[in-house]
Amino acid sequence: MSTPPHEPTGSGSNRPYGISPSGGVQHHQTNITPLPNDLSRGWLPEDTRQTPGSPLPAPKLFGFQSLLPFKFLNRLRHPGEIPWLVAAYLVTLTVYVGVGIYMVTSVVGFFTGDLSSVEPVDPATADSPGALAQLAFLAVYLPLGIFWLRALQYAQMRLRGVRITPTQFPEAYAMVVEAAHAAGLRRVPDAYVVLGNGQINAFASGHGHRRFIAVYSDLFEVGGAARSPEALRFIIGHEVGHIAAGHVGYFRLIFTSFFASIPYAGATLSRAQEYTADNFGYRLAPSGALEAMSVLAAGKYLHRDVNTDEFANRAVFEGGFFTWLANLNSSHPSPTWRMHSLRDRSEPGRLIWRPKINPAYPLSMAPAAEPAEVWADPVQAGDFMQAYPENPTNQHWGDNVTEPKTRANSRDRRVGDTLYTGWVPPQLRGYGRTAPQAPGPQAPAPQNPAPRAAQPQDDTEQG
């Protein structure tokens, strides 16, 4: 039995808070038995029916958001994530132990008068705190700062983002629900579309027990039937995977913040987490994996014109010290490496060293890592294009293909010359002085302009 809604006192009306029972909508069936959580009479903050009951356990502050078995969850993780996570926890533990020792010795030294254990102060920099003092300050206020920033981020999302609901972007909401079910989440995460301004991105975060994902509008647009709904499904599955794997938990961020500031080490842990989220996305939408990587590489219009095999093969061919270094300091695996990992599921994605094996596939160009003298010259490249001509109907300019047009001066309409209507250039109207002519041969005098059309004597508007 459902609890009846509270009626406003003294209103003389059976409509709660002035809301029509039908909400202004005529129902075709009038003999429907209201469900226990029926809200047809309007949403009431005091209504006890607003407290939902779920058979699944509520989210926990100290626990995974996913209910998947721990062994199964770890099989979805990249094998490098746990070792690097352990290293991050050890670094954080070392920092907090050191800060604790420093604070205890400082307090003891202050009360006992023995300041030998306190960090010495340089007179030249007496006004600035020492390194240990700064580290202690950071360690103490880091949890508060993370909590504060996450709260503001979620508040801004709730105020500015377009929320994905069963009635707003319902197709995307169905994807979120499907991803949450596949990842074993206790609750469906909040989801938003935010203005991308040309950026292709998505992220997951949370605050307290709440978790949410956000998809930039330029990336969200690929979910339409005209482009690739499976690519959007993979993206949503990837972001929900971050939640299920615990990557956006509050304590996870606290215990990895110091490690994240270490060059190359923190980026390596981040890349391992991205590969883990890719595994969640692939499990949900395997057919959208390569499409999603094409969108991230070439954008929402050109993604179908990306040769995924050629793109993934470059992960093997593009070697060299600087390409290795560029990947080593990146928070996300390079798109070529991710494409190679999602195409070849026999091994996990590479974190530090590039993959070594490609399937048999013809090379139309020498890899960019090869010396420039082995690159094709213009004659060789032209001969190759003539030997292997592309089908003229197979255009590679994206989904929004524009029709070819002739030049404007060949297709624009013809108009009469305004000189025949009495219009003359300003310099021939007698306004101002003419510019002095330079010494030398005089230019021929201009022809007399056409006579002006008769002007009306009265220019005022007639009422």
Q: Are residues 116 and 207 in the same domain?
A: yes
Q: Are residues 226 and 113 in the same domain?
A: yes
Q: Within a 10 A sphere around the Cβ of 203, how many other Cβ atoms?
A: 14
**Can you give the residue range of the structural domain that contains 363?**
307-389
Q: Are residues 253 and 107 in the same domain?
A: yes
Q: Would residue 434 count as lying in a domain? A: no
Q: Would residue 231 count as lying in a domain? A: yes
Q: Are residues 114 and 241 in the same domain?
A: yes
Q: Are residues 271 and 357 in the same domain?
A: no
Q: Are residues 225 and 370 in the same domain?
A: no
Element containing residue 192 per DSSP (H, E):
strand 190-194
Q: Would residue 396 count as lying in a domain? A: no
Q: Please tell me the distance from the alpha carbon of residue 401 to that of residue 393, in angstroms, as a whole number.
A: 12
Dihedral class, residue 422 (left if φ above 0, else alpha if ψ from -120 to 50, else beta):
left
Q: How many domains does the chain have?
A: 2
- Which of 176, 164, 306 minimizes the C-alpha distance to 244? 176
Token couple for 433: 């002085």
Name the domain boundary from 354, 389, 424.
Answer: 389
Name the domain boundary from 365, 389, 413.
Answer: 389
Q: Are residues 143 and 204 in the same domain?
A: yes
Name the domain boundary from 351, 366, 389.
Answer: 389
Q: Are residues 257 and 377 in the same domain?
A: no
Which stretches in the chain have pLDDT values below 70? 1-53, 103, 107-111, 113-139, 225-226, 398-463
Q: Would you give the distance in Å from CA 430 to the centre of its chain?
A: 61
* 256 SS3 class: helix
Q: Would residue 338 count as lying in a domain? A: yes
Q: Are residues 234 and 138 in the same domain?
A: yes
pLDDT digits (tens, 9 = 90+) for 52-82: 567 788 888 777 888 889 889 999 999 999 9
Q: Are residues 364 and 220 in the same domain?
A: no
- Which of 68, 54, 283, 63 minimizes the C-alpha distance to 187? 54
Class of residue 358 by CB neighbours under 10 A (exposed 0-12, middle 13-18, buried 19+):
middle
Q: What is the pLDDT of residue 461?
A: 46
Q: Would residue 442 count as lying in a domain? A: no
Residues with Cβ within 8 Å of residue 255, at least 6 apart in sequence = 88, 89, 92
Distances 345 to 149, 348, 398 between C-alpha atoms, Å: 37, 7, 28
Q: Please tell me the distance from the alpha carbon of residue 95 to that of residue 104, in angstroms, as a whole number.
A: 14
- To the question of pTM greater than 0.75 for the whole model, the response is no
Token match 């609901």: residue? 165
Q: Would residue 424 count as lying in a domain? A: no
Q: Are residues 230 and 148 in the same domain?
A: yes
Cβ atoms of 260 and 269 within 8 Å: the answer is yes
Q: Please tell me the distance from the alpha carbon of residue 62 to that of residue 44, in angstroms, as a whole number.
A: 32
Q: Are residues 256 and 324 in the same domain?
A: no
Q: What is the pLDDT of residue 27?
A: 43
Q: Would residue 348 count as lying in a domain? A: yes
Q: Would residue 325 count as lying in a domain? A: yes
